[in-house]
Structure 1
Amino acid sequence: MKKRKVPLRKSVVSGEMFPKKELIRIAKSKEGEVSIDPSGKKPGRGAYVALEPAEVEEAWKKRILDRTLGTDLSDDFYQELLDYVKHQKARKELFGNE
Structure 2
Amino acid sequence: MTKIRKIPMRTCIGCREQKPKKDLIRVVKNKEDEIFIDKTGKANGRGAYICNDKNCLEKAVKSKALNRAFSTEISKETYEELIQSVD
Normalising to structure 2: TM-score of the pair?
A: 0.90
Query: What percentage of aligned pairs have identical amino acids?
Result: 42
1:56 aligns with 2:57: yes
CA distance in 2, matches of 1:64, 1:40: 19
- The letter of the residue matching 2:66 is L
Higher relative CO (CA 8 A, sep ≥ 6), structure 1 or 2? 2
Instruction: Provide the residue aligned with 1:72 in structure 2.
Output: 73
User: Counterpart amino acid of 1:2?
Assistant: K
* Cα deviation, residue 3, structure 1: 2.2
- Indicate whether 1:44 and 2:20 are aligned: no
> Which whole-Å CA distance do the structure 2 matches of 1:70 and 1:54 have between them?
23
Q: Where does structure 1 differ by over 6 angstroms across 4 or more consecutive aligned residues?
A: none
- SS of structure 1 residue aligned to 2:44: coil
Partner residue of 2:35? 34
* Distance (whole Å) between structure 2 residues aligned to residue 26 and residue 39 of structure 1: 11
Check conservation: 2:27, 2:35, Cα contact below 8 A. yes
Deviation (angstroms), 1:51: 1.0
Following the alignment from structure 2 to structure 1, what is the Cα–Cα distance between the partners of residues 71 and 34? Answer: 11
Task: Give structure 1 stretches of 5+ with no counterpart.
Answer: 87-98
Aligned length: 86
Structure 2 residue identity aligned to 1:3? I
Cα contact 2:15–2:59 (8 A) shared by 1: no
Alpha-carbon RMSD: 1.1
Displacement of 1:17 after TM fit? 0.7
Deviation at 1:34, TM superposition (A): 0.8
* TM-score of the aligned structures, taking structure 1 as reference length: 0.81
